[in-house]
Amino acid sequence: MSLYHEAAGILQSVRKEQASVKSLVFSKKGWKSDPKTLFALSTEAAKWSEVLSEALEKSGVLGVEKQLTPELALVLTHDLFLSKKGIALPASHGLYMSVSKHKVRLSAELTKARLRRGCASLDQLRAKIDELSSNVSADGEGNGAAVAKYPRWVRINTIKTSLQSQLDTTFAEYLRSDTVRETLSGGNQKRLHIDEHVPNLVAISPNIDLTTTKAYKSGHIILQDKASCFPAYLLNPGPSEGDVIDACAAPGNKTTHLAAILAENDNQNAQVIACEKNDLRSQTLTKMTRLAGGEKSITVKAKQDFMRLDPSAKEFRNVTALLLDPSCSGSGIVGRDGGGLTVHLPNSTPTDNGKASSSSSRGKKRKRYASAQQQHQPPTPTAPATVVEEQEEQPLEDEASTSSTLQTRLTNLSTFQLRLLQHAMAFLSARRISYSTCSVHFLENEHVVLRALRSRVARERGWRILRREEQVDGMRRWGRRGWKGECEKFLRDEEEEEVGDGEGGMGGGLAGKMAEEVAEGCI
């Protein structure tokens, strides 16, 4: 049983930490499973994850077997159909039965997935998948045969170190690149580009694994995508400003970034108040805070729902800024194994008829390249009044599917996001809020902010969009902006099919807002 739980954990860490399967398995001791077996299962499950996710999602297994996580279902289904020895558990074991009793349905969906890819047999499909994975060698590291699409972004944790110190030590052997694109085309060379927008952020060649380095293990460097650095940098709390609330803080990258900016600005009095309602994610947040050295400036409110905070409470009278990065569709996130493997996950949210979505799952961290009209056309849904709870990020329908399920889910998410933003606006001393998502959809980004700005609390407190000329220098120079008109003041980071100008990052949207003592007309 430990093999499958440990393999599921590896796949989860691949997405969260952007580390390779190899480094995650072999840099850690104390596995209950044989490391070589664990590595083989995790790697093969990642290679097959797109096909297996389709079969799992269309079969509706996750909607029935509540004890199965998407990652756990993925590795079990892999061994059920693709391992010579089958699932390495007794037939009477609960995990074995949770998948095997759906074997007929899963087999049918796997056959359909195979035929959709033009393969007459499982062997042909296996050869095709192996060919697609041919740029990743057996140890999980890229072989340099193809140019990767995304760099690896690394934030220098200035709570513990400095950019120059890391250039002199961790990155001493790296060749300096003038653009992000140059870090992608260097083959097996170690290349580094210092970002021109976000301070203390560097892009390095994508196939380099930093998780085994002393700097990573000691919290001196943090693997954090460029777009993920925008919210804290846009807030940029100065030396005389008060506390900052991170409303949905786990795993903690943005939280520790805020703490680092406070330290850089010599603000020794302010605290970052980090809220996380989920117990397990609260533990991750606490661990990340300690690793980054932020214990003195970060107050972790474990198992704390931000929506239950009282904005008028004395405890929060000194809060002048809030960072909101709520649960969203995740449609703009690109996930990749450090060695080049992409982990796709099935949708665990059933549709209205009780079955899993009929569309193929591209994975939680796989970007959707929907048409510009689909992404930016302002929808006019009627949100159900009863749907206000926070929802987990899940994969969405692809372009070929009907839009009703997607529209319903986006509507539900935007309803929660709107309530979260309005709640943040009610904090009495708040002057700035950064609202960000990792979604490409207008409904979760500009639409939420524009609705919030029309609310009573926004009008009474004078909330408006932060003008471009008021934004911190790097964000003022950022070229991609929001959807039309007033939304030009919004920031967007949507990756094109190619890297283009080499700015890099991940898809998503972000807006900065500030409150004036007197309401202004450009709300």
Per-residue pLDDT reduced to its tens digit, 116-126: 999 999 999 99
For 338, phi then psi, to 5°, come to -60, -25
276 is in an annotated binding site: yes
The segment with the largest mean pLDDT, out of 2-11, 376-385, 511-520, is: 2-11
Higher pLDDT, 378 or 403: 403
User: Is residue 438 annotated as part of the catalytic site, yes or no?
Assistant: yes
Which burial class, exposed, middle or buried, applies to 149 when counting CB atoms under 10 A from its CB (0-12, 13-18, 19+)?
A: middle
Q: Is 254 annotated as a binding residue?
A: yes
Q: Give 128-170 pLDDT, tens digit per residue.
A: 888 777 544 434 444 434 445 688 999 999 999 999 999 999 9
Q: Is the pLDDT of residue 353 over 60?
A: no
Do the beta carbons of residue 244 and residue 273 sit within 8 Å? yes
Q: What is the pLDDT of residue 518?
A: 29
Distance of CA 218 to the CA centre of its chain: 23
User: Annotated binding residue at 251?
Assistant: yes
pLDDT band at 12 (very low <50, low <70, confident <90, very high): confident
Banded pLDDT at 294 (limits 50, 70, 90): very high
pLDDT band at residue 311 using 50, 70 and 90 as cut-offs: very high
Q: Is pLDDT of 387 > 50? A: no
Q: Does residue 188 surpass a pLDDT of 80?
A: no
> How confident is the model at residue 143, as a pLDDT?
42
Q: Which residue has the higher pLDDT, 396 or 160?
A: 160
Look at the block and give the residue holding tokens 């398995």: 25
User: How much is the pLDDT for 208?
Assistant: 86
With H, G, I as helix, E, B as strand and everything else as coil, classify residue 338.
Answer: coil
Tokens of 41: 């299962």
Radius of gyration of the chain (CA): 23
pLDDT band at 212 (very low <50, low <70, confident <90, very high): confident
What distance in Å separates the CA atoms of residue 25 and residue 4, rounded to the nearest whole number? 13
Is the per-residue pLDDT at 393 higher than 50?
Answer: no
Least confident interval from 279-293, 367-381, 434-448, 462-476: 367-381
Higher pLDDT, 511 or 56: 56
Residue 351 has a pLDDT of 39
* For range 324-350, the mean pLDDT: 70
Q: Is the peptide bond before 350 cis (omega within 30 degrees of 0)?
A: no
248 annotated binding-site participant:
yes
215 marked among binding-site residues? no
Q: Which of 176-190, 387-401, 475-489 has the highest mean pLDDT?
A: 176-190
**pLDDT greater than 80 at residue 199:** yes
For the residues 278-292, what does the mean pLDDT come to? 93
Percent of the chain with pLDDT over 90: 59
Does the pLDDT at position 347 exceed 80? Answer: no
Residue 419 φ/ψ, nearest 5 degrees: -60, -40
Catalytic-role residue among 119, 229, 438, 487: 438
pLDDT exceeds 50 at position 104: yes
- If DSSP codes are grouped into helix, strand and coil, which group holds residue 246? strand
Q: Hey, CA dihedral for 309, 431, 232, 159, is it positive or negative?
A: negative
pLDDT > 90? residue 223: yes
Q: Going edge to edge, which strands form the sheet with 201-204?
A: 175-176, 191-194, 201-204, 152-156, 221-223
pLDDT at residue 40 is higher than 50: yes
Most confident of 78-92, 135-149, 347-361, 372-386: 78-92
Residue 6 annotated as lining a ligand binding site: no
d(CA 209, CA 223): 10
Greater model confidence, 77 or 390: 77
User: Looking at residues 385-411, what average pLDDT do you find?
Assistant: 53
Check whether 305 is labelled as a binding-site residue.
Answer: yes
Where is average pLDDT lowest: 25-39, 273-287, 410-424? 25-39
pLDDT for the residue numbered 148? 59
H or E stretch at 244:
strand 243-246
Looking at per-residue pLDDT, the higher value among 338 and 424 belongs to 424
Mean pLDDT confidence for 407-413: 88
Task: Note the pLDDT of residue 340.
Answer: 57
Percent of the chain past pLDDT 70, that is, above it, reads 76
Give residue-wise pLDDT tens across range 457-492. Answer: 999 999 999 999 999 999 999 988 876 555 666 777
What number is the average pLDDT over the span 410-417?
93
- Segment 39-45 shows an average pLDDT of 92
Whether the predicted pLDDT of 516 surpasses 70: no
140/136 Cα distance (integer angstroms)? 6
Residue 358 pLDDT exceeds 70:
no
504 falls in which pLDDT band (50, 70, 90)? low
Q: What is the pLDDT of residue 491?
A: 76
pLDDT, mean of residues 29-38: 90
- 252 annotated to a ligand binding site: yes
Task: Give residue 96's pLDDT band: very low, low, confident or very high (50, 70, 90).
Answer: very high
Average pLDDT over residues 346-372: 43
Mean pLDDT (the chain) is 81
